[in-house]
Structure 1
Amino acid sequence: MAQESAAGDLVQLADALLEKVQALTRVEETARGRNAALNLIDVRMLQDRLAIISRNLLLITNTSRPGTINRLPTNVVVQIFSHLQRLPLQSSRSYFPPLFLKWIAITHVCTYWRDTALSTPSLWTNIYLHAKGGIPLVDAFITRSHERHLTLYMGRGPWRTDSIGQIQAWSRVLRRAISTAGTRVDRIILEPGFPIDDILRADQMSQKLGEGLFKAVASFSSARPLDAPNPLTTSTDETITGFLTCSIPGIRHLDLSSCPIHYILRRHEPFKHLTTLRLVQACDEKHTVPGSQLPVGFDDIIRVVTASRKSLRHLTLVGLPFCTGTAPPMDGAPITLEALESIELGDWPSNNVLAAFTHRIEVPHTASRCIWGTGLQDPTSLTLYPFLQCANQGKRPDSNAQSGDASHPKTIIVRIFLGSVPGGDMLTYKNGTLYINGDIPFSLYSTLFVDPLKQPLASVTDLVLTSLTTPITVPEWASVFESLPGIVNLKVRDAEASRLLRALKLTPSALPCLANIDIQYSEQVYGSSKGNLDPLDVQYSTEPLSLTTLLLAVVLQRTSDADAEASRTQHSHGVREGLLKRVFLRLGSRGKWLDWDVDVDNVFKRMARFKGMRATCLSKPNSMIEDSERVREEQDRWYLTMKEMDGVWPTKAVYFTRMLDTSGSSS
């Protein structure tokens, strides 16, 4: 019936349009005569009516046409809104940009889209308390989300102002959310930098002033007993402080910074069903509520983690102000975190306290583990290394255990990353990769290149070298080759590769499985450096042509050694396991001042003569994707390195506490 009605309307509009067109045609035919049938006013009226009819006709045509935006399936429209919700706001926060509510404007595209958005409660469950809109916006989200669980998100917007008026406004908004839908909140995300300390200070001050004023008024009036309800203040559960200490019974996700940490750790009954617990305290926090940085006991942390040991999936403990004095016990009952997927421990007061904590917990061998802080340069940090190597922290490998003993499961490391990316010293294991970052001495982190039984890590097949604050020397590289004999792929990204290549040339028998060498430099040029500086602003010690020649020497040596080994063992195919299969070099900005035809290209032509090996020296991007990658390299000096880190570093805690206020961006 609807289609027949639309078709009838279309026919009527078409008839009206035809009539007006004929009238205008008659006017046009007689306009040249002295006695025109219509005057100028009538002609303009006809033209206006014709325009209105044309618009109506176009509207009906678009409505009847299949595939337009107002005929998309409901689930597709909801997916569009969900995608727009995740799009970040353009900001100097390059790694963790703030979210925004501009997606709401897209819901007004048409009535169908608006009705779809309003009838989908899941779109309205994230309440951004720092967004412009205040209490009316919070009320709208609470109403439209129906009875769904809510997320309270308190972040740093680009318009951040910490004026008294803004603090009061945020306090009112937070109170409204707590009093209206506090029992529905299951996720709280509080970014470092949001003035929660000032809000809690104002909250506590208002409570004290209200109680004092109430007692003063009651002392002058015998009509109201002293224990009567206080009309000047809200109940304890409706205050922000009470919300953190007594309420939120259904909370599952806590991502907190600064002063709320104290309330969470000192709760009388810790949360028992947390899936995510992230507590971050910046060491140089200035504006805090009195008492918010009171030291917490080691037992407080153990108690909170133990309460959610069966459900906890993500755990982050950074910068916690522990009590000093008595060393924590090392022989407590182990805490098995059977569901844990990731753990991050940073800026702890001492390696001894951190080692005591890691010794108490047992995590699955598949869980990612991240440790960072200034203490990693101290020799006492060696007590933390078993946490990165062993899957079961409650059962240490003994000297009599066999390497394949199933009772002592080990972390399988297949890839090692070496770098000095901004953010400080870090050791991380994730998805088979061991990340070593910062200025940790080689004498310390090289002990990770052997397993708990002091055997070489034969499982490692990939090694990634990026720019280092303290480069690895040639003798140190030789020891790396002995500890990691199974390396198949060598990658160098924006780092001086000459020491690595010299070590390979001096130890021809090292790395018998080596098959691929991949060396790349980004396109960014720093001032007048002509591409001679790495991302750490350290000058490369080897010229591009010398680097290429050294690479050729390694290829020639390994190819001739392979042929000799093949003839000696009478292998008919003439290729041993360690023969290089691929050599790739991209000089990037370092090659812009070279004569490619004469210098580098001739070297790679010699490499390409060897059977079974592919040698490539790329000077220009050969696809649109590579071209866009080069543009990003020109904008961010760390882009090429960060691609190899797979989003592991910097973590959110590192970025907000160490990098955001000092750099503002990654470039």
Structure 2
Amino acid sequence: MKYDDLRTLLPFLKNATRSVVVAQNESSPISKLPPRIIITISELVAEPRTRESMFELVKMTHVCQYWRSALISFPHLWSSIFVKNDRKEFVAACLERSQRVPLTVSLHLKYGTYRNYRESPKCTCFQWSSWTRISEENPCSYHTTILPLLHKDHTERIRKLDVRLILVENPDESAHGMFMGALTDLKFFVFPLPLLESLSFDVNPAFESDVDTYMDFRGYPFRWKTSPPASLRHLTLHGCYGGPIPSLQNLTSFELAGVEEFDPIELDKDTFLPFLSRNTSLVSLTLTHCSFPVGSQLPRVTPVELSRLKTLRLADIRESPGFPCLIEIPALKTISSLHISIQKRKDGRYTLTDFRARAQSHDGFQLSIDVPELEDDKLVDDKLISDWVGITRNADPRPALVRFERQDLGSERGSKINFSPLPLFVNAKVLEISASFANRWYLNFQEDLEKIGPQLTTLRLEVVEGMNAGMMAQSVKRFVEARLKKGMPLIRLEKMMFEGMSEEGEANAERLWEEFRASLHIDQYLATL
């Protein structure tokens, strides 16, 4: 047989082999599963929807032709778009398979180190065709990925958007200038997003910059200046603020975080107060590394009433007596989660931000207290918690969960905390003890802890490497024995592991936990483990 005949015969052999495989698959049980079952299997394998899970989903399309057809025909499986370093063919395939369903888009972009390179190919990622990447072969490092998304038919479907923008060092331009350039040059930011409900925007200068505060949104992304986002309800900003942000309205959750290395974000009365007034339906409010105007700068200001607020988290808030002039929670009973961050004053003492909630707590109330490392001769202000939260010894708060933690994990410094936690502990249903307090928590608060009522059901202990298991066991013994003498029921002990722990750290923590259980004689003191 001639060589040309063999070359002609080869495609026929491949098709015949493929036909045999397809016939075998069609007769197998795996090809008789209903499409809904296949979809359910894929959701169990590929969820939660992440960039990695999308690749797992692609692998499942290679099981057989029947599975591939079933998976591709279900558009919701392909509605999560990750624009990072993937080939544009994969992004385009996800966009095509998602058909017309709303999209969740994660967009990772870098910007900087540009120059006017008129001789290089035009790049459609940019507004201005004269601005391209330095490399002639690749004028824009993201044109291989973001290009399929740059169509009105796709951007109009975006319901949830997560933007992470890294500013690459450019000796000819400041970080602020590069941020403004990114909002105007990168073509994606000029598309309107009419269905957008949730936006997370994180800006990170990846170099030593002249920036001492946040990046200002003076560029009005997504045409917000002419078309404000009517459907936007959830907004998270890290390292950026200003511009159209204070004019947004009808948000239900708002998170704003400054960059720790920079000055805090200043929330003045002329922008932040109107912002709160437009968003009185806020259910969740988180402010980190921010500052507020002093009270003397706010004459005759009427506080904004946030009657629906359920979660309030304030962390690293600088000394700002003006905050109570900006916000008022008419009934703290609406709050289900409150995070308090203790700050250090100029006189060396520690205090909370000068905000006073004006009511009592209620069933289901969760309180988290962050206590930083304290010097031996410094005390936290007396009545710290009762003044700040509005809880007094005569009140009847019923927190579902009370957690005490300190940032200097494993340290015994700073055990002199000059306040009584009785108002918080007395009706607790769940008590969490962080690793930093685990060794001495009972000795520090013995009098108050023994007054906790019979409604306490659970004691959670955080276990970390270096913890004194024997001392912790003694504290638990004393606590439970005191309750048993009063005829109270046994409680449940639960273990908490420190997030982000290495495998070796987890192994050591597990060893300490077993050592603790052996020292405690678990069946004698606790209902169940």
Q: Same fold (TM over 0.5)?
A: yes
Could you tell me which amino acid in structure 1 is paired with residue 245 of structure 2? L
Aligned to 1:436: 369
Question: After superposition, what is the alpha-carbon deviation per residue over 1:239-265, rounded to whole angstroms, capped at 9, x for unaligned?
Answer: 984635334645425545457632332
Are residues 464 and 283 of structure 1, via their aligned partners in 2, closer, same or farther at CA, if it must alter by over 3 Å?
A: closer
| Contact kept in structure 2, 1:478 and 1:503, CA below 8 Å | no
Aligned to 1:393: none
TM-score of the pair, normalised by structure 2: 0.59
Asked if residue 64 in structure 1 is aligned to residue 27 in structure 2, the reply is: yes
Asked if residue 73 in structure 1 is aligned to residue 35 in structure 2, the reply is: yes
Aligned to 2:361: 411
Aligned to 2:278: 307
> Which of 98, 103, 113 is matched with 2:67 structurally?
113
* Superposition deviation, residue 142 in structure 1: 4.5
Aligned to 1:185: 158
Structure 2 unaligned residues grouped into runs of 5+: 1-14, 115-132, 169-174, 188-218, 374-379, 496-508
Are residues 303 and 554 of structure 1, via their aligned partners in 2, closer, same or farther at CA, if it must alter by over 3 Å?
A: closer
Aligned to 1:298: 269
Could you tell me which amino acid in structure 2 is paired with residue 189 of structure 1? D
1:384 is paired with a residue of what secondary structure? coil
Partners of 1:295 and 1:259 lie apart in 2 by 12
Aligned to 2:320: 351
Could you tell me which amino acid in structure 1 is paired with residue 490 of structure 2? K
Could you tell me which amino acid in structure 2 is paired with residue 261 of structure 1? Y
Could you tell me which amino acid in structure 2 is paired with residue 72 of structure 1? P
Aligned to 2:192: none
Could you tell me which amino acid in structure 1 is paired with residue 223 of structure 2? F
2:161 is paired with a residue of what secondary structure? strand
* Superposition deviation, residue 114 in structure 1: 3.4
Are residues 346 and 104 of structure 1, via their aligned partners in 2, closer, same or farther at CA, if it must alter by over 3 Å?
A: farther
| Contact kept in structure 2, 1:352 and 1:380, CA below 8 Å | no
Are residues 127 and 274 of structure 1, via their aligned partners in 2, closer, same or farther at CA, if it must alter by over 3 Å?
A: farther
Partners of 2:113 and 2:342 lie apart in 1 by 33
| Contact kept in structure 1, 2:381 and 2:419, CA below 8 Å | no
| Contact kept in structure 2, 1:185 and 1:251, CA below 8 Å | no
Are residues 272 and 137 of structure 1, via their aligned partners in 2, closer, same or farther at CA, if it must alter by over 3 Å?
A: farther
1:245 is paired with a residue of what secondary structure? coil
1:263 is paired with a residue of what secondary structure? coil
| Contact kept in structure 1, 2:350 and 2:381, CA below 8 Å | no
Partners of 2:262 and 2:60 lie apart in 1 by 39
Structure-to-structure mapping, 1:154-303, within 5 angstroms? 154-155=107-108, 165=133, 168-170=140-142, 177=149, 180-181=152-153, 182-191=155-164, 193=166, 198=178, 200-202=180-182, 204=184, 241=221, 243-247=223-227, 249=229, 251-253=231-233, 255-257=235-237, 261-265=241-245, 270-284=247-261, 297-303=268-274
Are residues 132 and 167 of structure 1, via their aligned partners in 2, closer, same or farther at CA, if it must alter by over 3 Å?
A: farther
Partners of 2:238 and 2:389 lie apart in 1 by 39
* Superposition deviation, residue 193 in structure 1: 4.7
More helix by share: 1
Question: After superposition, what is the alpha-carbon deviation per residue over 1:80-138, rounded to whole angstroms, capped at 9, x for unaligned?
Answer: 24862525468xxxxxxxx765533433433333333443333344333324234x555
Aligned to 2:57: 103
Partners of 2:232 and 2:145 lie apart in 1 by 22
Structure-to-structure mapping, 1:78-93, within 5 angstroms? 80-81=42-43, 84=46, 86-88=48-50
* Superposition deviation, residue 437 in structure 1: 1.9
Could you tell me which amino acid in structure 2 is paired with residue 331 of structure 1? V
Could you tell me which amino acid in structure 2 is paired with residue 354 of structure 1? F
1:443 is paired with a residue of what secondary structure? coil
Are residues 128 and 515 of structure 1, via their aligned partners in 2, closer, same or farther at CA, if it must alter by over 3 Å?
A: closer
Could you tell me which amino acid in structure 2 is paired with residue 411 of structure 1? S
| Contact kept in structure 1, 2:238 and 2:257, CA below 8 Å | yes
The structure having more radius of gyration, on CA atoms, is 1
* Superposition deviation, residue 433 in structure 1: 1.8
Structure 1 unaligned residues grouped into runs of 5+: 1-51, 91-98, 208-238, 287-292, 387-395, 398-409, 414-430, 526-532, 535-539, 563-575, 619-667
| Contact kept in structure 1, 2:338 and 2:366, CA below 8 Å | no
* Superposition deviation, residue 590 in structure 1: 4.4
| Contact kept in structure 2, 1:347 and 1:374, CA below 8 Å | yes
| Contact kept in structure 2, 1:118 and 1:144, CA below 8 Å | yes
Partners of 1:411 and 1:328 lie apart in 2 by 28
Structure with higher RCO (Cα < 8 A, 6+ apart): 1
Partners of 2:283 and 2:517 lie apart in 1 by 55
Aligned to 1:639: none
* Superposition deviation, residue 434 in structure 1: 0.9
Are residues 125 and 53 of structure 1, via their aligned partners in 2, closer, same or farther at CA, if it must alter by over 3 Å?
A: closer
> Which of 332, 351, 371 is matched with 2:302 structurally?
332
Partners of 1:82 and 1:591 lie apart in 2 by 32
Partners of 1:510 and 1:358 lie apart in 2 by 35
Are residues 145 and 277 of structure 1, via their aligned partners in 2, closer, same or farther at CA, if it must alter by over 3 Å?
A: farther
Partners of 1:320 and 1:594 lie apart in 2 by 41
| Contact kept in structure 2, 1:477 and 1:500, CA below 8 Å | no
Structure-to-structure mapping, 1:248-647, within 5 angstroms? 249=229, 251-253=231-233, 255-257=235-237, 261-265=241-245, 270-284=247-261, 297-310=268-281, 312-319=282-289, 327-328=297-298, 331-332=301-302, 334-336=304-306, 338=308, 340-359=309-328, 365-372=334-341, 374=343, 381=352, 383-386=354-357, 396=358, 410-412=360-362, 431-439=364-372, 441=380, 443=382, 445-447=384-386, 452=391, 454-457=393-396, 459-460=398-399, 469=408, 479-481=420-422, 484-486=425-427, 492=433, 494=435, 499-502=440-443, 510-511=451-452, 513=454, 522=463, 525=465, 533-534=466-467, 540=468, 544=470, 562=485, 576-578=486-488, 581=490, 589-590=511-512, 600=519, 604=521, 608=524
Partners of 1:143 and 1:53 lie apart in 2 by 31
Partners of 2:301 and 2:323 lie apart in 1 by 14
Aligned to 1:133: 87
Aligned to 1:150: 103
Question: After superposition, what is the alpha-carbon deviation per residue over 1:478-511, rounded to whole angstroms, capped at 9, x for unaligned?
Answer: 9445774445766545455564444687799744
Partners of 1:169 and 1:128 lie apart in 2 by 16
* Superposition deviation, residue 332 in structure 1: 1.8
* Superposition deviation, residue 168 in structure 1: 3.8
More strand by share: 2
RMSD: 5.5
| Contact kept in structure 1, 2:336 and 2:366, CA below 8 Å | no
| Contact kept in structure 2, 1:258 and 1:282, CA below 8 Å | yes
| Contact kept in structure 2, 1:491 and 1:519, CA below 8 Å | yes
Partners of 1:132 and 1:353 lie apart in 2 by 48
| Contact kept in structure 2, 1:295 and 1:322, CA below 8 Å | yes
Aligned to 1:122: 76
Partners of 2:239 and 2:434 lie apart in 1 by 41
Are residues 296 and 172 of structure 1, via their aligned partners in 2, closer, same or farther at CA, if it must alter by over 3 Å?
A: farther
Partners of 1:498 and 1:145 lie apart in 2 by 54
* Superposition deviation, residue 365 in structure 1: 0.5
2:63 is paired with a residue of what secondary structure? coil
| Contact kept in structure 2, 1:200 and 1:241, CA below 8 Å | no
Partners of 1:499 and 1:275 lie apart in 2 by 41
TM-score of the pair, normalised by structure 1: 0.49
Are residues 104 and 344 of structure 1, via their aligned partners in 2, closer, same or farther at CA, if it must alter by over 3 Å?
A: farther
